[in-house]
Amino acid sequence: MGMIGRFVALVVVLLAGLAACTPVQDAGSVAPALAGTPLEHCCDSPAVYPPVVVALTDPLAEPIGRLIHDSPVRTGYLAVPDAQAAILDALRPLDILDMSNRGRLSSRFLPGRFTHVAVYLGTEAQLRALGVWSSPRIVPQHQAIRDGQVFIEADAEGVHLSPAEVVLNTDAVVVMRPQLGWSARRAAAEGFAQRLGGAFDFHFDNATPNAVYCAELVGQVLPDLALPTRHLYGRETILPEDIVLETAVGKSQLTLVAYFTGTPDGWRRATRAELVADLRDWWRGPVATPQLATACPCPAPA
């Protein structure tokens, strides 16, 4: 990216640090589905950047996004063979994964514990069983899938296939399953494959034509899921965190399959109650990143 790009990134970090001291209330952002649940007030105000910061950096969203995407901080806690094997064993085609990865700089600029979404497309055997292996949309991807690229994600590189060692190089994963009939599952697999090669939306705006970000990709291919949207910074967007929040309390059309979480000391498969507690703790106190340090009025655990 060069010296100019690095300077711009430094400016963004400094502005973000300033923004952390002055959280911005985003009226009307509360997710109605969380009312009356233990997560009712979590993520009430995800807009932690003052409008002036957004206005200054929005024209540079793509170069900044690419620079941050290419700046890993550390390896994810789940980036160990036994953890990844356990996660893969739990997956079925079209499962949606929502990930928490504080080891990547990009995740530290987005609101929430969970900041990235990917879709498990499936192995050759699974796609044959689904009846789509011979689909014209899937055939061009045969070799990549055989090589282990069984996930579809949208990031700074566009919409592309990724292997488990890349997608699961993260700290925590929530696995969610859409309840789809046979024909709908086949159509969804083909729909995701059709979008491979598409451009990434660095503005996270549902109205941006011909480009998508990670959660928007899922929302476009599976519109019946009615993923939660927010009006944030003057645009309609889908926060990966909101998808997890609603699923954790059973207010989503996605079924919670599993929650895997790691620390420097190891990993484990946790329960729904532990997921709710982890989300509540994240938003109750200061968020554990210098860029997004803010407080949330979530109640303390009983």
Give pLDDT, residue 285: 59
Instruction: Kindly report each contact of residues 88-93 with a partner whose C-beta sits within 8 Å and lies 24 or more positions away, as own/partner.
Output: 88/164, 88/168, 90/175, 90/257, 90/258, 91/120, 91/175, 92/120, 92/122, 92/126, 92/177, 93/120, 93/121, 93/122, 93/126, 93/127, 93/130, 93/185, 93/189
Could you tell me the pLDDT band of residue 109, with boundaries at 50, 70 and 90?
low
Instruction: Give domain status of residue 50, yes or no.
Output: no
- Name the average pLDDT for the chain: 81
Could you tell me the pLDDT band of residue 235, with boundaries at 50, 70 and 90?
confident
pTM of the predicted model as reported, rounded to 2 decimal places: 0.81
**Higher-confidence position of 4 and 69:** 69
Express each pLDDT in 39-58 by its tens digit: 877 877 665 555 655 665 66
Nearest CA among 298, 301, 296 for reference residue 46: 296
d(CA 92, CA 95): 6
Could you tell me the pLDDT band of residue 59, with boundaries at 50, 70 and 90?
low
Find the mean pLDDT for residues 222-230: 94
d(CA 246, CA 272): 12
Q: Which domain CATH number covers 257?
A: 3.90.1720.10
Could you tell me the pLDDT band of residue 185, with boundaries at 50, 70 and 90?
very high
Q: What is the residue range of 261's domain?
A: 29-45+74-284
Instruction: Give domain status of residue 246, yes or no.
Output: yes
Express each pLDDT in 62-84 by its tens digit: 556 656 655 667 899 999 999 99
Express each pLDDT in 116-152 by its tens digit: 999 999 999 999 999 999 999 999 999 999 999 999 9
Instruction: Give domain status of residue 298, yes or no.
Output: no
Q: Are 121 and 153 in contact, with CB atoms under 8 Å apart?
A: no
Please report, as a single letter, which amino acid is at residue 161.
Answer: L
d(CA 162, CA 215): 16
Instruction: Give domain status of residue 295, yes or no.
Output: no
Find the mean pLDDT for residues 258-277: 96
Instruction: Give domain status of residue 37, yes or no.
Output: yes
Could you tell me the pLDDT band of residue 234, with boundaries at 50, 70 and 90?
confident
**Higher-confidence position of 72 and 155:** 155
Find the mean pLDDT for residues 229-253: 90
Instruction: Give domain status of residue 12, yes or no.
Output: no
The domain tally of the chain equals 1
Instruction: Give domain status of residue 64, yes or no.
Output: no
d(CA 264, CA 244): 23
Q: Are 126 and 92 in contact, with CB atoms under 8 Å apart?
A: yes
